[in-house]
């Protein structure tokens, strides 16, 4: 007996204890029982020590992902299984999903979702109790489903132990230890995995709470920064409006506040202001993409319409940024409101200016105001405007609402006054030549669909009144001749353009029709004008004209070819030929 006690004290193995007991069966049994108890105590001590280490390791973890990896790795090590894994509860879908694994090789298994009540894990999740089996594929205590059995089969799992993760009665998930060969699990292993699961559940909840708190603090900090940023933007926009700033200032402010490029366009898509390194193709597409008053993602850019009282006045397009925070989006929306306000102010100012111009124009065309008074009123309207000595008058008839918007820049710079008068739109332009002006306006007439008559230039006072009346008669004549959507000066209409013309216009008309031929004769000493007169006197017969001129018919044809080169193709056609004949008659009259 003394020998047995010594061996027990020295932690001798069971084989030595049995040898020392000899034939004393009672002593041998007692010694082995004491030995088993000591082994169990040491194992329990080791397990407790391991749990303390796990608790310390989990307590130091802050990242949810690392916590879960630590849990499954420790479960696999402590229980001594091939695989350990953990599923988490999804309240939105009412099932559990695979969140962490250790020792797993199957992609399908790692993506498995387990409905409550299905399989071993589903039963643990539904009952909040641990379950285990030495041979899961053949264990019919569990409700087998194809997705679960297929995933378990692909992973090659046979023996499975699962225990719930619960904190304060709330279900968190399930912790598993599993073997690829048949293996029974004893109650000590179930208890050990349960202890680990209890530590894991508390840690998961704490880490989640810490992460949520950190996220909330970060959002609060971001919100505070966003409020300050929005306040700065509000002050900036308010300064722009109160100081009378224009859309250029708005574009520059948005570009600086958000570090983006900005394009502001009007209701027709014309660029009003740009700031930054603009992608113009993207800006054009985005500006036409939506009528919405809300910020909208368009391709790689963002667009928001600037609206007032339901009317789209323009749009703001930004780019050069992948995402906009909520605070930044509100800044863009505020910028759109300020843009609409500025554009509304601009339109109201333009309407007031147009009304003032219309009043000045009406007095000028009716002869009710002296030129000096007109000049003073024009300077009051715009200090940089000056009254030129003469102007060309353009009368636009038809739907002329878009004429001013379509004026090319060179004409816009020469526009002195514009406005409605007697149902027409009248333009007074500081230009010296009616014919050239009519040609420039021809594209506007075609695109807008109006008919434009151009007469002048004329001095202010009675000459301007008379010129406007002639332009009015000319546009009426153009419409009677079917020249819709065209622009013309009196000389462009030939004989029809002489209606109401003064004597000085007759000379201009002759020069307009025959000037090229007259200049050629004067410079070269030829008489192409005489050939023209003989040609028409002979009813446009080159042979009879040659006889009348006593020259060869080929010579007449050569002269006619030269005239075609000077007057252009088509001068022998009936309408144009009449203009040439009338000009020849008027030339004879003028030469006396």
What is the predicted pLDDT for the residue at 543?
A: 84
- Stronger pLDDT, 320 or 288, i.e. the higher one: 320
Give percent of the chain above pLDDT 70.
Answer: 71
Average pLDDT over residues 398-404: 83
When computed from its CA atoms, the radius of gyration of the chain, rounded to whole angstroms, is 49
Confidence of residue 585 (pLDDT cuts 50, 70, 90): confident
Query: Which segments within 438-577 are labelled E, that is strand?
Result: 451-459, 487-488
Q: Catalogue the long-range contacts made by 438-442 (C-beta closer than 8 Å, 24 or more residues apart).
A: 438/394, 438/487, 438/488, 438/489, 438/492, 439/487, 440/408, 440/410, 440/411, 441/394, 441/411, 441/487, 442/486, 442/487
10 Å Cβ neighbour count for 381?
15
Q: Where are the domains of the chain?
A: 2-44, 61-211, 244-349, 388-500, 507-591
Reduced 3-state DSSP string for 354-382: HHHHHHHHHHHHHCCCCHHHHHHHHHHHC
Model confidence band, residue 37 (pLDDT cutoffs 50, 70, 90): low
Convert the pLDDT of each residue in 469-516 to its tens digit.
888 888 887 887 778 888 888 777 666 555 545 444 567 667 777 778
CATH 2.40.50 fits 388-500, yes or no: no
Q: In 10 A of CB 133, how many CB atoms?
A: 21
Same fold, 244-349 and 388-500: no
Among 508, 539, 533, which residue's Cα sits nearest to residue 588? 533
Per-chain mean pLDDT for the chain: 76
Choose from 423-432, 503-512, 526-535 the range with maximum mean pLDDT: 423-432
The answer to whether residues 572 and 557 touch, using CB atoms and an 8 Å cutoff, is no
Q: Are 293 and 229 in contact (CB under 8 A)?
A: no
What are the tens digits of pLDDT across the range 251-265?
A: 787 777 777 888 887
Three-state DSSP at 167 gives strand
Residue 19 vs residue 72, higher pLDDT: 72
With contact defined as beta carbons under 8 Å apart, do 121 and 87 qualify?
yes
Q: What pLDDT score was predicted for residue 11?
A: 60
The CATH number assigned to the domain with range 507-591 reads: 1.10.10.2840
Tokens of 237: 């926009």
Distances (CA, A) of 159 to 78, 165, 167: 16, 20, 27
Which is nearest to 161 in space by CA: 96, 76, 74? 76
Buried residues in 239-250 as b, exposed as e (16+ CB within 10 A): ebeeeebebebb
Q: Which of 66-70, 171-175, 368-372 has the lowest mean pLDDT?
A: 368-372
> Architecture of domain 244-349 in CATH?
2-Layer Sandwich (3.30)
d(C-alpha 248, C-alpha 271), whole Å: 11
Q: Give the whole-angstrom CA distance, residue 263 versus residue 491.
A: 45
pLDDT at residue 223 is higher than 50: no
Q: Is the pLDDT of residue 66 over 60?
A: yes
| Distance, CA of 276 to chain centre | 15
CATH class of the region 61-211: alpha beta
Q: How far is CA 460 from the centre of its chain?
A: 51
pLDDT at 440 exceeding the cut of 60: yes
């Amino acid at each position: 007996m003394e020998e047995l006690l010594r061996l027990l004290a020295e932690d001798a193995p069971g084989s030595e204890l049995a040898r020392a007991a000899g034939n004393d069966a009672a002593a041998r049994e007692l010694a082995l029982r004491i030995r088993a108890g000591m082994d169990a105590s040491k194992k329990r001590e080791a397990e407790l020590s391991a749990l303390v280490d796990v608790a310390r390791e989990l307590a130091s973890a802050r990242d949810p992902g690392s916590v879960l990896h630590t849990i499954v790795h420790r479960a696999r090590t402590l229980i001594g299984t091939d695989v350990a894994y953990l599923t988490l509860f999804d309240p939105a879908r009412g099932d559990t999903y695979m969140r962490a694994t250790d020792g797993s090789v199957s992609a399908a298994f790692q993506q498995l979702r387990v409905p409550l009540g299905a399989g071993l894990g589903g039963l643990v999740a539904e009952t909040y109790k641990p379950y285990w089996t030495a041979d899961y594929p053949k264990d019919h205590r569990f409700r087998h489903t194809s997705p679960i059995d297929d995933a378990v089969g692909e992973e090659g799992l046979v023996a499975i132990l699962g225990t719930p993760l619960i904190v304060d009665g709330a279900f968190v998930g399930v912790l598993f230890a599993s073997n690829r060969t048949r293996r029974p699990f004893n109650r000590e292993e179930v208890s050990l995995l349960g202890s680990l699961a209890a530590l894991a559940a508390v840690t998961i909840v704490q880490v989640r709470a810490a992460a949520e708190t950190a996220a909330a603090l970060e959002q609060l900090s971001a919100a505070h920064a966003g409020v300050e940023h929005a306040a700065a933007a509000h002050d900036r926009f308010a300064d722009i409006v109160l100081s009378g700033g224009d859309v250029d200032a708005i574009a520059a402010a948005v570009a600086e506040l958000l570090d983006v490029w900005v394009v502001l366009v009007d209701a027709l898509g014309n660029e009003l202001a740009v700031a930054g390194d603009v992608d113009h193709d993207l800006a054009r597409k985005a500006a036409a993409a939506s009528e919405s008053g809300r910020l909208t993602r368009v391709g790689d850019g963002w667009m928001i319409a600037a609206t007032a009282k339901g009317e789209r006045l323009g749009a703001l397009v930004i780019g050069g940024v992948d995402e906009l925070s909520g605070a930044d989006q509100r800044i863009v929306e505020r910028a759109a409101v300020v843009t609409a306000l500025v554009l509304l102010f601009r339109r109201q100012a333009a309407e007031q200016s147009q009304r003032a111009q219309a009043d000045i124009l009406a007095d000028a065309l009716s002869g009710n105001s002296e030129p000096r008074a007109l000049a003073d009123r024009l300077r009051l309207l715009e200090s940089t405007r000056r009254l030129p000595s003469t102007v060309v008058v353009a009368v636009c008839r038809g739907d002329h609402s878009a004429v001013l918007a379509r004026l090319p820049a060179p004409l816009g710079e020469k526009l002195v006054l514009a406005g409605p008068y007697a149902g027409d739109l009248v333009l007074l332009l500081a230009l010296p030549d009616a014919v050239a002006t009519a040609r420039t306006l021809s594209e506007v007439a075609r695109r807008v669909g109006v008919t434009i008559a151009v007469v002048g230039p004329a001095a202010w006072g009675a000459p301007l009144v008379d010129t406007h009346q002639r332009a009015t008669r000319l546009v009426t004549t153009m419409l009677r001749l079917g020249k819709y959507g065209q622009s013309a000066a009196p000389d462009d209409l030939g004989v029809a353009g002489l209606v109401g013309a003064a004597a000085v216009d007759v000379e201009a008309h002759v020069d307009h029709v025959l000037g090229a031929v007259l200049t050629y004769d004067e410079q070269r000493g030829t008489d192409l004008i005489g050939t023209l007169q003989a040609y028409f006197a002979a009813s446009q017969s080159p042979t009879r004209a040659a006889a009348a001129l006593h020259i060869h018919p080929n010579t007449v044809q050569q002269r006619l070819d030269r005239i075609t080169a000077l007057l252009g193709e088509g001068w022998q056609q009936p309408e144009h030929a009449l203009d040439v004949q009338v000009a020849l008659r008027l030339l004879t009259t003028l030469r006396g």
